[in-house]
Amino acid sequence: MARPKIALIGAGQIGGTLAHLAAIKELGDVVLFDIADGVPQGKALDIAESGPSEGFDAALKGTTDYADIAGADVCIVTAGVPRKPGMSRDDLLGINLKVMKAVGEGIRDNAPDAFVICITNPLDAMVWALREYSGLPHEKVVGMAGVLDSARFRHFLSVEFDVSMKDVTAFVLGGHGDTMVPLTRYSTVGGIPLPDLVSMGWTTQDKLDAIVQRTRDGGAEIVGLLKTGSAYYAPATSAIEMAEAYLKDQKRLLPCAAWVDGALGLKGLYVGVPTVIGANGIERVVDIKLNKDEQAMFDKSVESVEGLVAACKGIDESLG
Ligand code: APR
């Protein structure tokens, strides 16, 4: 059987890391696409040359021609501009909306059967716009945010509790921005919910609140340290987890920016919710019940995503 084909639209920091991870994990053959001629070709060759030492079988190709993504099984989109210090994800809106138009049309014309994972920020609005421009089914277009936000939360929790990250599960919902909603009630260590661990004296409520806030600011913390760009190792790893769930029909339950129409009281919006990813793409949106405080946080997050979508419609009337 032919290997799956993975197209990476954007061969920058995240795109290059995605290519390396996809090859090492032998998820399939990789095509790196970018408008900056030389960059995708250079990265593809560099990664291919790591193959003999690492021992993977995967073909890598760099290109500036959309025709080369033809028939891709998965497209992961990082094309666009990342944040600089002092910029919010929303500042990127106008620039990256134009990029989503070009990319959406490129995918529509060349890889209409692909499972598309968007990483470009501001995430919830960009994945919505990418879906609109591409015209692909909603269940085949999804945004990567919740897996990353949850991974950051899990990392901080495992350090606080001095336990393996493998035993920490965490849930972060809502938009991928300052209003994201880390749900402590649904986050556990070895199955024990975080509020119980506070009662057991493993940590204090103040410390937990600080970890929640650090999770919300997780992206900005990296931007502040790097100064010349935003995070790329963890974002790439998170998207690869989603791609693998699709390619191997794993039915993973992962928080993603998915199209929600009915669940959680929402009527047609891309926002971070728990989903099941399998061979059909987003196979299910998990309609969890939120308590009053959680619902209030989620509503605020939804409002901010709706504001970004409205801003996109204001910039490009064809999206109205
Ligand atoms: N088509 C294809 N590629 C494009 C286009 C386009 N229209 N416009 C820009 N690019 C490419 C750039 O040439 C660059 O190589 O997208 C790449 C982006 O790479 P980086 O600048 O290194 O950004 P990266 O850190 O990978 O982040 C990409 O993900 O997390 C988000 O906020 C982040 O929106 C940003 C995206």
Name the residue of 17, 33, 35 to mutate for ligand 1: max ligand atoms within 8 A of Cβ.
35
The CA-CA-CA angle for residues 146, 150, 156, to 5°, reads 155
Kind plus residue range of the DSSP H or E element containing 176: none
Nearest CA, atom 10, ligand 1: 79
Catalytic residue among 20, 138, 155, 176, which? 176
Closest by CA position to 9, among listed 32, 29, 43? 32
**Residues that constitute the known binding site for substrate:** 83, 89, 121, 152
Band of residue 92 on the pLDDT scale cut at 50, 70, 90: confident
pLDDT of residue 291: 93
89 has pLDDT over 70:
no
Using an 8 Å Cβ cutoff, are 5 and 72 in contact? yes
pTM of the model: 0.97
78 has pLDDT over 80:
yes
pLDDT above 90 covers what percent of the chain? 91
53 has pLDDT over 90:
yes
Nearest CA, atom 29, ligand 1: 120
For the four alpha carbons of 170, 171, 176 and 181, in that order, the dihedral sign comes to negative
172 token code pair = 């972060």
- Domain borders along the chain are 5-144, 146-313
Computed over every residue of the chain, the mean pLDDT equals 95
Band of residue 86 on the pLDDT scale cut at 50, 70, 90: confident
- Ligand 1 atom with least separation from CA of 14: 26
**3-state DSSP assignment of residue 56:** coil
- The ipTM is 0.99
Mean pLDDT of 274-297: 96
Class (C level, CATH) for 5-144: alpha beta
242 has pLDDT over 70:
yes
Active-site annotation holds for 20: no
**Residues that constitute the known binding site:** 10-15, 34, 83, 89, 96, 119-121, 152
**Ligand 1, CB within 6 Å, residue ranges:** 9-15, 34-36, 39, 78-80, 82-83, 92, 96, 99, 102-103, 119-121, 229-230, 232, 235
pLDDT above 70 covers what percent of the chain? 99
Calpha distance 129→124 (Å, rounded): 9
Calpha distance 78→302 (Å, rounded): 23
Mean pLDDT of 81-95: 79
Using an 8 Å Cβ cutoff, are 29 and 1 in contact? no
The pLDDT tens digits for 112-157 are: 999 999 999 999 999 999 999 999 999 999 999 999 999 999 999 9
Mean pLDDT of 39-62: 98
* CATH for 146-313, options being 3.90.110.10, 3.40.50.720, 3.40.50.2300, 3.40.50.150: 3.90.110.10
Calpha distance 99→80 (Å, rounded): 6
* Residue 244: Cβ-neighbour burial (10 angstroms; 0-12, 13-18, 19+): middle
The pLDDT tens digits for 155-176 are: 999 999 999 999 999 989 998 8
- In this chain, the answer to whether the domains covering 5-144 and 146-313 adopt an identical fold is no
- If you measure from the C-alpha of residue 1 to the centroid of ligand 1, how many angstroms do you get, rounded to a whole number? 32
